[in-house]
Amino acid sequence: MTRPVAIVTGGGRGIGATIAARLAEDGHDVAVLDLSEDACQESCAAVKAHGARALAIAADVSDEVAVERAVRQVSETLAPPFVLVNNAGILRDRTVTKMSLEDWNAVINVNLKSVFLTSRTCFPYMMKGGGGRIVNLSSTAALGTFGEANYSAAKAGVIGLTKTLALEGGRHAITANVVAPGFVVTEMTRAVADRNGLEFEGLVEQMKRETCVGRVGRPEDVAQAVSFFADRRSSYTTGQLLFVAGAPRG
């Protein structure tokens, strides 16, 4: 059998890079999408270290033409995608009264619109190939987070969109599921702390106290959940929301 192909958006660093490496370890060839090819190089090297093929693609996943071009390139260079992981995301934190329409649109476009565009584009490839796995990254912020109306709305939208993809994809052997991380130590969470004038280690200690397991999340925790949903053997699990947050949520 040939190795199934996975697409990981926002795969150049952090959680996305860890997911890409895990999927390669699981036996997938991986296309890493990010804003520049240079941003994908380290992630691609980790994929290749697992004996898998890697493809770096520069793409703005909130742009319809760029998405269609990227998925076509994946199909022609590696093979049609069996797995799509929508991980790309940005933050533009402001309280509602201070949030500009530009901040709102930017976050909605990258965190939600992109999931629609990539899923719509990959669906026909998966249907023709006999099935597929779509795994979308949401967040505990979908339940509401102070100062993140745009991000919370986008991540809640991802959940509803994914459940609809599951309903529409089921008869084509396409599953769609959501992984919703809690606090995970990444460059992004460090940047959030810096922007808000918070000492990062203090923030980590605070987040620990909000879990049952006594620690904060690691990118590997998220990759573990994605790995399950992406597996060919997970064909009876679809439309599900899994919080990876160290405590019950929802």
Catalytic residues: 151
Q: What local confidence, expressed as pLDDT, does residue 1 receive?
A: 55
Residues pairing with 54 in the sheet? 30
CB-based contacts of 133, cutoff 8 Å, min separation 6: 82, 83, 84, 174, 175, 177, 229, 230, 231, 232, 234
Q: In sequence order, what E strands does 108-184 have?
A: 132-137, 174-181
- How would you write the pLDDT of the chain (250 residues) with one tens digit per residue? 589 999 999 999 999 999 999 999 999 999 999 999 999 999 999 999 999 999 999 999 999 999 999 999 999 999 999 999 999 999 999 999 999 999 999 999 999 999 999 999 999 999 999 999 999 999 999 999 999 999 999 999 999 999 999 999 999 999 999 999 999 999 888 887 887 788 888 889 989 999 999 999 999 999 999 999 999 999 999 999 999 999 998 6
d(CA 164, CA 247): 26
Q: What local confidence, expressed as pLDDT, does residue 249 receive?
A: 87
Q: What local confidence, expressed as pLDDT, does residue 117 receive?
A: 98
- pTM score of the predicted model: 0.95
Q: How far is CA 234 from CA 26, 122, 230, in A?
A: 14, 19, 7
Q: How far is CA 68 from CA 42, 59, 118, 235, in A?
A: 24, 10, 8, 26
Please tell me whether residue 110 adopts helix, strand or coil conformation: helix
What stretch(es) of the chain map to CATH 3.40.50.720?
Answer: 5-182+220-237
CATH class of 5-182+220-237: alpha beta
Q: What local confidence, expressed as pLDDT, does residue 193 receive?
A: 82
